[in-house]
Amino acid sequence: MSGFWSDKRVLLTGGGGFLGGFIRERLERKNPAAVFAPRAKELDLRDAAATRAYLAANKPNLIIHAAAVVGGIGANRKHPGRFFYENAIMGIQLIEESRLAGVDKFVQLGTICAYPKHAPIPFREEELWNGYPEETNAPYGVAKKALLVQLQSYRDEYGFNGIFLLPVNLYGPRDNFDLESSHVIPALIRKFVEAKERGEESVVLWGDGSPTREFLYVEDAADGIVAAAEKYNGIDPVNLGRGEEIAIRDLAEIIKAKTAYTGNIVWDTSQPNGQPRRKLDVSRAEREFGFRAPTDFNTGLAKTIDWYINSAR
């Protein structure tokens, strides 16, 4: 095992969340000097004074900022102001206070929503600034992208070692299955399972099913983030994904079959599709810190559905 972790006092924000929980498990296996994963009630990252006091008291030298206010298309449409402000202010203040506290390394998780709406496929990190994000996700995506600018400018002026990762859409056990705020895979799983249980003849889904998405199994994402924390110190942002895409229409049919739902799918074309396509170029992550996502989509999806049916309810 690498000696990198032996003296690390790691602050993980968002450690109680979907992705954060898996990151924390992997950090603890590394046996660092300390792991801090405060909940929001213990540390309000919107409060600069509280953040400053927490850093002074616990003295982390590595920070992984995974905390975020997130959701699917519906949540983004309902709370664009909140999604912009809270994601921006949490990151801006934490980065600044970390610099002032002398933190050695800062790992910032960005979002695939930061890419331009019509970025060429596959999304390469160099395309990040070549257009405006898809409108329903733009406030969230722009807030996160501002943190990339902050880290790069802080590296230039202060020598602050901050890295920026761009995970694609995540899925897996322990995801958020609340239909008001969930992303597409947990929402589809829940809709089909409940429709089957209630004997409903059809399930209504948003859009026309034509957009494509790329998905990364949450445990693979956690592995990639921890690997980057240890091995990557570059100024350039890095995609985390599998480099594969699937149409939402095909995804819905797969989940319908895996949940044994026999009714019909009705597409509500009055609702938005979101970004037309998402597929990443993942070569930089492999080149820079050896990350390749091992979990194939069918395996990950089966594990997610099994967890929801047997553990989530």
Write out the catalytic residue numbers.
Answer: 140
230: left (phi over 0), alpha (psi -120 to 50) or beta: alpha
- Identify whether the C-beta of residue 240 lies closer than 8 Å to the C-beta of residue 166: yes
- Identify whether the C-beta of residue 220 lies closer than 8 Å to the C-beta of residue 154: no
| Contacts for 191-196: CB closer than 8 Å, 24+ residues apart | 192/255, 192/256, 192/259, 192/261, 193/259, 193/261, 193/305, 193/308, 193/309, 195/261, 195/263, 196/259, 196/260, 196/261, 196/262, 196/263
Please tell me the distance from the alpha carbon of residue 189 to that of residue 103, in angstroms, as a whole number: 41
- Identify whether the C-beta of residue 131 lies closer than 8 Å to the C-beta of residue 118: yes
Please tell me the distance from the alpha carbon of residue 237 to that of residue 38, in angstroms, as a whole number: 26
What 8-state DSSP symbol labels residue 280? B
Label the pairing between strands 246-247 and 238-240: unpaired
**Residue recorded with tokens 């020598």:** 159
Please tell me the distance from the alpha carbon of residue 262 to that of residue 257, in angstroms, as a whole number: 8
Residue among 249, 218, 240 nearest 291 (CA): 240
Phi, psi at 224, each rounded to 5°:
-65, -40
Please tell me the distance from the alpha carbon of residue 111 to that of residue 65, in angstroms, as a whole number: 12
Please tell me the distance from the alpha carbon of residue 203 to that of residue 268, in angstroms, as a whole number: 10
Q: Give the pair of three-digit tokens for residue 42.
A: 């213990």
